[in-house]
Amino acid sequence: MIHPTALVDESAIIHESAVIGPYAIVGPRVTIGARSIVDAHVVIKGPTVIGEDNHIHQFASIGDAPQDHRFDEADPTSLVIGDRNSIREYVSIHRAIVAEENVTRIGDDNMLMAYAHVGHNCIIGNHVVIVNCANLAGHVKVDDYAILSGFAAVHQFCRIGAYCMVGIQSKVTQDIPPFVLYAESEPRSINAIGLKRRGFSADEVRNIRRAFKTIYRKGYSAEDMLAELDVQAQASEGASRMRDFIKASARGIAR
């Protein structure tokens, strides 16, 4: 299943059911799991672990050195990619520098569209969509089911909450709480359509909308806002998740 024109380092661990296309380059310290497909001209550098049933399309660059002057090739860092991810043309994903867990991590069931970039030490959850030409700087966290639209740019150390929708060409410089629709570089509403598509009940959508208004529309101080969210969290898991996200935010939430 390895094309004769592909260059695969003898130390790479390739599952017998994986497919390596023509002119692909797979370097040392790379592991590729069952049924994963690596198309033509893909370059994969290690240390990188790629799980099962992934499809990496032509010309993607996976596991290259991060764009950070502090990086040293001897650093004990890596890239880990889970299962069932679709990584499209010209996507670049860099391995980590020595920081946090020393790893860049991509979860399961994600789609990274053409020309997207995932910088060093990023942590991507599951069922995330990163649309064409969106860019994540280093140390960014993207939680499950978030969607980043085309040309969105996320500042280093920011976190995108679960079920968020980040609009086209938006710049993100602070954390975005779960469930928020963030457009034209500011929080606009909740991602109501996305929540309904994911099976959230009408009651829970209303609770999440109420929590959003508490955060962004009532003019509360930070202390009073969190106190009100504490009350709402007793009846709403969504409000509880938004409250916990805000309390854990290191950069502060987008305003």
Six-digit token pair at 22?
């023509």
Residues 27-49 pLDDT 10s: 999 999 999 999 999 999 999 99
| pLDDT at res. 61 | 98
| pLDDT at res. 241 | 97
Evaluated on CA atoms 162, 113, 123, 182, the torsion sign reads negative
Amino acid code (one letter) for 164: C
Mean pLDDT across 127-141? 98
Burial 55-83 (b: 16+ CB within 10 A, else e): bbbbbbbbbbebeeeebeeebebbbbbbb
- Provide CB contacts within 8 A for 90, sequence distance 6+: 59, 60, 61, 114, 115
Model confidence, pTM:
0.96
Angle, helices 222-233/237-248, rounded to nearest 10 degrees: 150
| pLDDT at res. 255 | 87
Structural domains for the chain: 7-142 (2.160.10.10), 196-248 (1.20.1180)
For the cut 90, the answer to whether the pLDDT of residue 24 exceeds it is yes
| pLDDT at res. 180 | 98
| H-only helix segments in 127-251 | 192-197, 202-216, 222-233, 237-248
Please state the separation of Cα 252 from the chain's center in Å. Answer: 19
Please state the separation of Cα 78 from the chain's center in Å. Answer: 16
Mean pLDDT, the chain, as a whole number? 97
The answer to whether 37 touches 52, Cβ cutoff 8 Å, is no
Residues 103-126 pLDDT 10s: 999 999 999 999 999 999 999 999
| pLDDT at res. 19 | 98
Mean pLDDT across 39-68? 98
Give DSSP secondary structure letters for 104-147: EEE-SS-EE-TT-EE-TT-EE-SS-EE-TT-EE-TT-EE-TT-E
Residue percentage of the chain with pLDDT more than 90: 98
| pLDDT at res. 224 | 96
C-alpha to C-alpha distance for 202 and 198, rounded to whole angstroms = 12
